[in-house]
Amino acid sequence: MKEIKKIVVSIDGSVYSSKAVERAIELAQKGQAHLCFLYVSAHVHKAIPSDLIFGSIWEQLPKDISASRHEDTGTVYEAIIRLATKENADLIIMGSRGLGLFRGALIGSQSQKVIEHSNIPVMVVK
């Protein structure tokens, strides 16, 4: 199995996003991976300030973890894949559901689209 040295973590302030952050931190500590946190401002949650979301992550981030923050706008799944490709990420981690409007599916639409379109392995956290 390929060593995981860089992980893109999609965040949106949801409960599942928080669980994805926790899992990403665990993996980063084990493998000394760099975490690239990505917040995509989309129509559903554009009113949530990114500083609030990033601030809560940085409060729980251990000092020995290397991390960077990234922001984008537009289509969420495209932004995630774009950053993961640009950063040569080894893994994408995201929550199974975000702050989207549609409920009741087994997996969120953005998670499903990232899985379908990404050449990079994706971990979906429930």
- pLDDT tens figures, 37-61: 999 986 555 567 788 889 999 999 9
The single-letter code of the amino acid at 14 is S
- The residues with which 68 forms a beta bridge, in sequence order, are 36
The candidate with the shortest Cα–Cα distance to 39, out of 11, 1, 76, is: 11
Mean pLDDT of 104-122: 82
pTM to 2 decimal places: 0.89
- pLDDT tens figures, 59-90: 999 999 999 999 998 899 999 999 999 999 99
Task: Provide the token pair at 91.
Answer: 């893994």
